[in-house]
Chains A and B, each alone.
Chain A
Amino acid sequence: MRTPLILLLTTAIACALPAVLESGYFINVAIIALIYVILASSLDIMMGWTGKFSFAHAAFFGIGAYTAAMMQRSFGTDLWAHLPAGMAAAALFGVLLGLPSLRLQGHFLAIMSIAFQTVVYLVLAQWTDLTGGHYGLPVEVSPELGNVSTFYFVTLGCTLVACLFVWFLTQSRFGDTLTAIRDDETLARTIGMDTNVIKIVAFAISSALAGGAGVLMAHHIRGVTPNDYTVMTSATIVAMVVLGGRGKFWGPIVGALILTILPEVLSDLAEYKHIMYGALLIFMIMVMPQGVVGALTGRKAK
C-alpha cells in the first residue's frame, strides 16, 4: 500500500502548483501533462499488463472529447454529465475494437488498431453534419470551472482517481489475470481463465479512461478538432508508455510527464517533436526496453 500513499503525497504537492506558477501558461502545460498521465496509464493496461500493442488510444481520447462537444450542442450539459457519458461511449467503441482483436495476435492487432484509429479520425474529420468537420465543435465551460486554476484542480482530482483505479486494478486478481494473458495466453486458458472476456473488459476499461481524458481535454481547450486525435497522438501515448516503462505503475506517469514537459522546455525545437519522439522510441527499445522506471527498479518478483 506504499504506492497509493506516495501518489497521494505527490498529488498534495501538485496542489501547490498554481500558487507557485504565476503564469497561466505553465498551469495549462500542467493540465495537458495530467491528461496525458491518464492516457498513458490507461494505455498501459493494454500495452504493459495485457501485452497488446494498440495505436488507437487517441481514437478513444477523441471519442470522449467529441461526446462532450456533441452532448453540449444537443442538450447543453456540463462536464459532470460529459465525464460518465464520454467514458461510456469510449468503452463501447473499445469493445467494438476488442471483439475482432480476439482472433488477432501481435503485429496484426497493432495494424488493426491503426486502421481503427484512421477510421475514427476520418469520421471525425469528414462527417461534417455530426462533428463539424475539420473546424470541429466549440465547448463552453460552465462559469464555476472557468478559472484555469480551478480546472487544474478538477483535472488533478480526476487524474488521481484514474491512477488509483489503475493501481488497485493491476494489483488485484484482475491484474494477475492480465499478466497471465501477457505471459502465455494458451496457458491462461488452460488453467481455466476465460481470456476472451477478460481481454474485452480490459479493452473497455482502458478505452473508458481515455474517453474521460478526452472529456477533460475538450473542456480544457474549449473545443474539439479532429487533428488533436490522429494516429500521431496515439503514437505519442505509446512513446510515453515505452519511455516510462511498460507494466510499471510509475512508468507511464513518468513517461507522460517527460514527453509533455520536455517539448515545452525545448519549444524552439517543437517542429521536430515527432522526429525526436521517433528517435527516442528507437533508442529506448534498443537500449532500455523496460523503460526509465523499469531500468531504475530492476526486475524482481513482487
Chain B
Amino acid sequence: MTPPILEARGLSKSFAGMVALDNLSFSVNEGEIAGLIGPNGSGKSTVVNLISGVLVPTSGQVVMRGQDVTGAPAHQMARRGVARTFQMIRLFGTLSVEDNIALALQQKEGPGYVSSFFRTPAARRQRAAAGVTAREMLKLFDLEEKASDLAADLSIGQRRMVELARGLASEPTVFILDEPAAGLAPHNVDRLIEMIRRMRDEFGVTILLVEHVMRVVQSVCDRVVVLDYGQKIADGPPAEVVNQPEVIEAYIGLGRGKNA
C-alpha cells in the first residue's frame, strides 16, 4: 500500500505549558477531501500551522509520502507542495489579482532573480507564461475580469476565491483550507462547496479542510477527524461521526461534560 500523502504522528504542541495539541495522529490519503473539525480552541489552527511549517511541534512528526518533514520552515513546505489558505484571508493587497497568483506559481521554478533583472528573453517568457496560467485560473473561478484590480479592492467572497486560485495554481500536493467558509454569504458558501469538489475531481488535489460550517463539511468531506481539547475524539465518514456521543458532547455539551 502506498503511504498516505500526509500523516501526523503523535503531534503535540504546547505554548508556555498550555497544551494546545496532545498526541494527535491522523492521515490524509491521496485524492481525499479530509475534514478537520472541532469546537473553538480545540487545536485546529495549531494543526494547520504545524503542517504548513509556521510552527514547530513540541513533539511528534509530520510525514509527507513517508518522508519526515517535521520542523521544515514554511517556504520549504510550500516548495514540497503544501499550499494553504488563511482563516483571515491573506493576499498581497497592493499587487493585482493576477500578480498575486503569478507570484505564487513562479516559486517552484526557483528564484530567477538575476535573469529577471536583466530581462532576458527566457525570463520574459516565463513571466508571460505565469500571467497566462494565472488568468486561466481566474477564469475557472469566474474572476477573469478582476485580473488587473488590486487584490485589496475585491469583496470577501472574491478574495476567498483568489486565495483558492492562488493555492490551486501552485499545483499543490496537499491543499489546506483553513475555515474557508468564514464570513461568506450563503450563496458564496454554495460556490465554495462546488469549487472544493472541482479542485479534487478535476485537478486531483488532496484537500485538508478545516471548517466550522457543518454544511460544507457534510457535503464535501470523505472523512472527518474531530478534535476536542487538542485530542482526537472521532475519525470517520461525516454522517457517522456527527452522531457519535463524544462529538455531540464536545459541541453541545451534556451539562455534566467538560464543556458545561
A binding-site residues for B, Cβ under 8 Å: 168-169, 172-174, 176-177, 179-180, 182-184, 186-195, 299-302
- Beta-carbon contact of A184 and B90 below 8 Å: yes
Among B91, B116, B118, B123, the one with the most A-chain Cβ atoms within 10 Å of its Cβ is B116
The distance in angstroms between the C-alpha atoms of A299 and B94, with both chains bound, is 9
| B107 proximal to A (CB < 8 A) | yes
A to B CB contacts below 8 Å, 12 in the list: A168-B119, A169-B117, A173-B111, A180-B92, A182-B94, A183-B91, A183-B95, A187-B90, A191-B103, A193-B75, A300-B150, A301-B148
- Beta-carbon contact of B116 and A189 below 8 Å: no
Interface residues of B in 61-111 (CB under 8 A from A): 73-75, 78-79, 83-84, 86, 90-96, 99, 103-104, 106-108, 111
Chain B, Cβ-Cβ closest to A168: B117
Residues on B with C-beta less than 8 A from A187 are 86, 90-92
| B222 proximal to A (CB < 8 A) | no
| Chain A binding surface SS class | helix
Which listed residue (A173, A186, A192) contacts B113, Cβ 8 A? Answer: A173
- Beta-carbon contact of A174 and B94 below 8 Å: no
Residues on A with C-beta less than 8 A from B78 are 189-192
Q: A192-B79, A192-B107, A193-B75 are in contact. Are A184 and B92 (CB under 8 A)?
A: yes
Which listed residue (B52, B99, B116) contacts A172, Cβ 8 A? Answer: B116
| Chain B binding surface SS class | mixed
B binding-site residues for A, Cβ under 8 Å: 52, 54, 73-75, 78-79, 83-84, 86, 90-96, 99, 103-104, 106-108, 111-113, 116-119, 123, 127, 148-150, 166, 170
Which listed residue (B73, B93, B107) contacts A191, Cβ 8 A? Answer: B107
User: Could you tell me the distance in whole angstroms from the C-beta of A236 to the nearest C-beta in chain B?
Assistant: 27
Q: A179-B92, A184-B90 are in contact. Are A173 and B116 (CB under 8 A)?
A: yes
User: Could you tell me the distance in whole angstroms from the C-beta of B47 to the nearest C-beta in chain A?
Assistant: 15
- Beta-carbon contact of A189 and B73 below 8 Å: yes
User: Could you tell me the distance in whole angstroms from the C-beta of B188 to the nearest C-beta in chain A?
Assistant: 21
The distance in angstroms between the C-alpha atoms of A98 and B194, with both chains bound, is 46
- Beta-carbon contact of B74 and A179 below 8 Å: no
Known: A180-B95, A191-B78. 13 other contacts (CB 8 A): A172-B116, A177-B111, A179-B94, A184-B90, A184-B92, A186-B74, A186-B90, A187-B90, A188-B92, A191-B107, A192-B78, A192-B108, A302-B96
Chain B, Cβ-Cβ closest to A1: B119
- Beta-carbon contact of B170 and A183 below 8 Å: no
- Beta-carbon contact of A174 and B150 below 8 Å: no
- Beta-carbon contact of B75 and A192 below 8 Å: yes
Chain B, Cβ-Cβ closest to A180: B92
Q: A192-B75, A192-B108, A195-B75 are in contact. Are A301 and B103 (CB under 8 A)?
A: no
User: Could you tell me the distance in whole angstroms from the C-beta of B123 to the nearest C-beta in chain A?
Assistant: 8
- Beta-carbon contact of B112 and A191 below 8 Å: no
The 4 closest A-B pairs by CB, nearest first: A192-B107, A192-B78, A301-B96, A173-B116
Chain A, Cβ-Cβ closest to B74: A189
User: Could you tell me the distance in whole angstroms from the C-beta of A247 to the nearest C-beta in chain B?
Assistant: 8
The distance in angstroms between the C-alpha atoms of A300 and B78, with both chains bound, is 30
Chain B, Cβ-Cβ closest to A247: B94
User: Could you tell me the distance in whole angstroms from the C-beta of A154 to the nearest C-beta in chain B?
Assistant: 25
- Beta-carbon contact of A193 and B95 below 8 Å: no
User: Could you tell me the distance in whole angstroms from the C-beta of A240 to the nearest C-beta in chain B?
Assistant: 22
- Beta-carbon contact of B117 and A172 below 8 Å: yes
Residues on A with C-beta less than 8 A from B104 are 191-192
Chain A, Cβ-Cβ closest to B89: A187
User: Could you tell me the distance in whole angstroms from the C-beta of A173 to the nearest C-beta in chain B?
Assistant: 4
The distance in angstroms between the C-alpha atoms of A186 and B52, with both chains bound, is 11
- Beta-carbon contact of A190 and B74 below 8 Å: yes
- Beta-carbon contact of A301 and B95 below 8 Å: yes
- Beta-carbon contact of B54 and A194 below 8 Å: no
Which listed residue (B73, B117, B166) contacts A174, Cβ 8 A? Answer: B117
User: Could you tell me the distance in whole angstroms from the C-beta of B78 to the nearest C-beta in chain A?
Assistant: 4
Which listed residue (A168, A188, A190, A302) contacts B52, Cβ 8 A? Answer: A190
User: Could you tell me the distance in whole angstroms from the C-beta of A191 to the nearest C-beta in chain B?
Assistant: 4
- Beta-carbon contact of A301 and B150 below 8 Å: yes
Residues on A with C-beta less than 8 A from B106 are 173
- Beta-carbon contact of B95 and A179 below 8 Å: yes
Chain B, Cβ-Cβ closest to A165: B117
Chain A, Cβ-Cβ closest to B106: A173
Residues on A with C-beta less than 8 A from B149 are 301
User: Could you tell me the distance in whole angstroms from the C-beta of B199 to the nearest C-beta in chain A?
Assistant: 17
- Beta-carbon contact of A176 and B99 below 8 Å: yes
Residues on A with C-beta less than 8 A from B150 are 299-301
- Beta-carbon contact of B84 and A190 below 8 Å: yes
Residues on B with C-beta less than 8 A from A174 are 113, 116-117
- Beta-carbon contact of A194 and B96 below 8 Å: no
Residues on B with C-beta less than 8 A from A173 are 106, 111-113, 116, 123, 127
The distance in angstroms between the C-alpha atoms of A195 and B54, with both chains bound, is 13
- Beta-carbon contact of B113 and A191 below 8 Å: no
Q: A169-B117, A191-B78 are in contact. Are A176 and B108 (CB under 8 A)?
A: no
Residues on B with C-beta less than 8 A from A182 are 94
- Beta-carbon contact of B103 and A186 below 8 Å: no
The distance in angstroms between the C-alpha atoms of A169 and B114, with both chains bound, is 9
